[in-house]
Amino acid sequence: MILGPLSLLYLLTAIVVANDVGQNYNPLTVDANTWESKYGSYPFKSYRSSNITSPAVRKAVDSPQCYDDNYIFLAPRGFRVPNPAVTILDNHGELIWSHTVKGQPYNLKVQEYKGEKVLTYWVGDDAVGGHGEGYFYVLNNKYEEIARIRGVNNLRADLHELTITPEGTALVTFYQIYPLNQPGVFKIKDTVWIWDCLFQEFDIAKQELVFEWRASKHHNLNESYAPLGGDGYTTDHPYDWYHINSVEKDDLGNYLISARFTSSITYISGKTGEIIWVLGGKRNSFSDLSNGQATNMAYQHLARFHPLTTFPKLLAKEISDHGVAKYKDGITKQLLSAFDNGIDSRPGRGILLELTYTSQGVSTNAPLTAQLVKSYEHPLHIPSISQGSMQLVTSNLTADLDPHILIGFGYTGVWTEYLADGTLLCDSRITTENAFGKGHVQSYTALKYRWTGQPSYPPSAVPGIAKTSVFVSWNGATEIKSWQLRFLLDGEAGKVVAKADKTGFETEIPFPEDFDKETMRYFIVEAMDVDGKVLGKTDIVDLWASGLVSRVTQMVPLSGISVSFFGVLAAVAVVLFVANRIVKARMGDYQKLRRH
């Protein structure tokens, strides 16, 4: 099957793909009309000293309270993103680190492994069933790969979950095509083929299994809200009925599991795998004290437990009534956070719930109750048909205070930060409003972490076009305060002839006024920390050599008057990529990209 003329015409005349915002772009001063009309669905930044690109950020709402000691961790991808990458930005929207991947990137996080802070992220083929097949990568703070994680028994990891525990084990989710006999669910046959969901906990270094749980052993197919369609009858089209998307292990050794297509969060025993309770969905165990608002989550993501004491101000009364202990008099009271996608019923939102239930091992008839503490919704009521995150953020600005709430809208490239009471602080975007809900620019999660990067590779520098300055950057370095320039005399680095404070990802250093390009042909640039210590230096740069060519200098200018050759090639490549996805969708009844 090929695309029809109308489909091709639509693709070729669709909204402009992407455009470079230029060197002088400011996320705080760019006006809404310029952002919406000039740069396409994916405004980006390019650099002279590096051939990487990074998303440009527009801050529609801004506050000093968002400028903490954390960085922002994204994995930009989507139908209009030419170079999917895992990306770290600072709170000004400036690039810290970017790594372009072969495949689709998801789930960039900071975790701890063997006593060290590490980066973890997933890369693979996300077109497999809407959950993907690939690997989780673990990088140290030098950005060197120290582990590549897949499951025990050679299972390839899906994109949704990798959590490294303090014990050095990994929690990873998987999908398997699996035959299941459940008479009466399907009209034609009793045995059907499903995408079954399981997770494993295993020792990363030894690949030894600690625990494994399979959804079909504990949940029934009729709990699912996913339409049957034509799926389930063959191995080529298994029924995606559960769609696991997060797992957390608590201090009791039990597990909290979120599943998209049952719109439920399940708490299971870490010893037997048996279900302790289910929150939401058709099998809900809880009485809702908020008129249905605490149990009506739909297609939610990233469910996590938190103690009441996480919010000493917001929940002061509840802490006073229950005490600081999570378990009291046979009753457990704690918080649960999740990103509620909402889908048709409402826009995406973050939810903070208070759960009360009988403690493990206690026999009582006390009811299980759920209450909505706060809901965090974008003022534009952004739809998010898939993906998304809610994170409780601590920083140098939240000492002795409640954490901030960070909401990532997944399928729509937007993240917002709130005070715990729901006050919106910042609204940051890497796509335009006319692209909301279209999947043009996505990031599975948007998260904040502290991070110190010390790359094992050197900084990069190239002369400016006029040969009167040098552009320098160091992808991933977080401790640079300033740069200094030295010309080489007789092969040795001479005295410092110019200095400049670091300005964003890339800094331009003007050559001195007495610069002579005939005798001062070779130079190096050194990165300095706040104490004046040299962190690293570039390779020797030849002033007479040509500089780097940015990966994407200009894709499709909105003016349409002057389109660069490379811009046309890049635009055609993206069009062909999108066309290829649509062809796959039509050939295989493929609607899984929206399911993550």
Q: What whole-number distance in Å separates Cα of residue 367 and Cα of residue 370?
A: 10
> Tens of pLDDT along 35-51?
999 999 999 999 999 99
Q: List the single range of 137-146, 180-189, 207-216, 564-573 with lowest mean pLDDT.
A: 564-573
Q: List the single range of 15-29, 90-104, 402-416, 426-440 with lowest mean pLDDT.
A: 15-29
Q: Specify the pLDDT at position 551.
A: 42
Q: Is residue 360's pLDDT more than 90?
A: no
Most confident of 181-190, 197-206, 354-363: 197-206
Q: Which residues pair with 393 in a beta bridge?
A: 404
Ordered by where they begin, the domains of the chain are: 8-454+586-595 (2.120.10), 460-542 (2.60.40.10)
Please tell me whether residue 536 adopts helix, strand or coil conformation: strand
pTM for the model stands at 0.90
**3-state helix/strand/coil string of 253-321:** CCEEEEECCCCEEEEECCCCCCEEEEECCCCCCCEECCCCCCCCCCCCEEEEEECHHHCCCCCHHHHHH
Q: What whole-number distance in Å separates Cα of residue 214 and Cα of residue 207?
A: 19
Mean pLDDT over 269-276 rounds to: 97
Q: Which conformational region is residue 103 in: left (phi greater than 0), alpha (psi within -120 to 50 degrees), or beta? A: left
Percent of the chain with pLDDT over 70: 88
Predicted confidence band at 582 (pLDDT cuts at 50, 70, 90)? very low
Q: Is residue 369's pLDDT more than 70?
A: yes
Q: What whole-number distance in Å separates Cα of residue 440 and Cα of residue 495?
A: 50
Q: Specify the pLDDT at position 591.
A: 40
Roughly what angle, to the nearest 10 degrees, separates helices 565-587 and 5-12? 140
When computed from its CA atoms, the radius of gyration of the chain, rounded to whole angstroms, is 26
Q: Specify the pLDDT at position 515.
A: 83
Residue 584 vs residue 383, higher pLDDT = 383
Give how far the C-alpha of residue 541 lies from the chain's centroid of Cα atoms, to the nearest Å: 36
Q: Specify the pLDDT at position 546.
A: 64
Closest to 123 (Cα-Cα) out of 106, 145, 138: 106
Mean pLDDT over 336-353 rounds to: 92
> Tens of pLDDT along 55-78?
999 999 999 999 999 999 999 999
Decide if 550 contacts 471 (C-beta within 8 A).
no
Predicted confidence band at 427 (pLDDT cuts at 50, 70, 90)? very high
Q: What whole-number distance in Å separates Cα of residue 53 and Cα of residue 334?
A: 43
Predicted confidence band at 553 (pLDDT cuts at 50, 70, 90)? very low
Decide if 428 contacts 63 (C-beta within 8 A).
no
Q: Specify the pLDDT at position 3.
A: 41
Q: Is residue 282's pLDDT more than 50?
A: yes
Closest to 378 (Cα-Cα) out of 415, 352, 341, 410: 415
Q: Look at strands 301-306 and 331-340 and give their pairing.
A: antiparallel
Buried b (16+ CB within 10 A) or exposed e, 163-174: bbbeeebbbbbb
Percent of the chain with pLDDT over 90: 75
Q: Specify the pLDDT at position 516.
A: 81
Please tell me whether residue 192 adopts helix, strand or coil conformation: strand
Predicted confidence band at 472 (pLDDT cuts at 50, 70, 90)? very high
Hey, what are 375's tokens?
């809901």
Q: Which residues, in sequence order, are CB contacts of 490 under 8 Å at separation 6+?
A: none
Q: List the single range of 57-61, 342-346, 545-549, 585-589 with lowest mean pLDDT.
A: 585-589
- Amino acid identity at 271: K
Predicted confidence band at 428 (pLDDT cuts at 50, 70, 90)? very high
